[in-house]
Amino acid sequence: MVWKVLLGLAAVLALLLLCPLRLELLWREGDVRVTLRYLFLSLRLFPRPPRKAPAPPAPEKSSAGEKKSTQPRKGRVEAVLDGVGLVNDLLPQAGRGLGYILRRTTLSRCRIFLTVAREDAADTALRYGQVNAALYSAYALIASLLRVREFRLTVIPDYLHGPQAEDAGAEVTLRVRPSTLIAGALIFLFRAAGQLSRLAPARKKAPPSPAVSP
């Protein structure tokens, strides 16, 4: 009877370790949401839910005829390009130490929406080419390290409304099994311990540096 219970618990634990974790990123209208999901559970990582509802601010008196100023959508395309540059810089280094986890991580959804606009048509066309080149080069790097199921890039040039019309949005979902994370962490610790054990004898054999007489 005890063995049956232990086998049942082991089977349940194995199933739980094989069920994938999902990390979802949603960026729309300047708002970013990052959610971690596992089975029917969900945890919002960003933005964190407020603990207490803040008191509503006192209404400010506005003069008659004064119009509300709308914030321009500047900087969203630049934020996407900065993120692409960060991926190009960090992902190869992460692949060296966390290659086991990355090769078993699935990019199940990546949808990027961009509206590119500049002062004139020539600058808009140049910007359009730069954005496409940067994003597709990042896709080639990601596809070499991760499993990619869906990658959809939509870049729309706007030749009429100027830089105020630039906009960006993204939907990204990563899937990885908890067993992969545990195995990858153990492999990383094993390699780190091996490197430390090789460095320790070398430090002991190194001759002391001669003292410098005044």
**Is-contact 122 163, C-beta < 8 A?**
no
Q: What is the pLDDT along the chain (214 residues), one digit of tens a residue?
A: 788 888 888 888 889 899 999 999 999 877 899 999 999 999 999 887 666 655 566 555 544 444 443 444 457 888 888 888 888 888 887 777 788 899 999 999 999 999 999 999 999 999 999 999 999 999 999 999 999 999 999 999 999 988 888 999 999 999 999 999 999 888 888 888 887 887 766 666 656 655 555 5
Print the SS3 string covering 79-114.
HHHHHHHHHHHHHHHHHHHCHHHHHCCEEEEEEEEE
Domain regions of the chain by residue span = 22-45+72-192
- Is the full-model pTM beyond 0.85? no
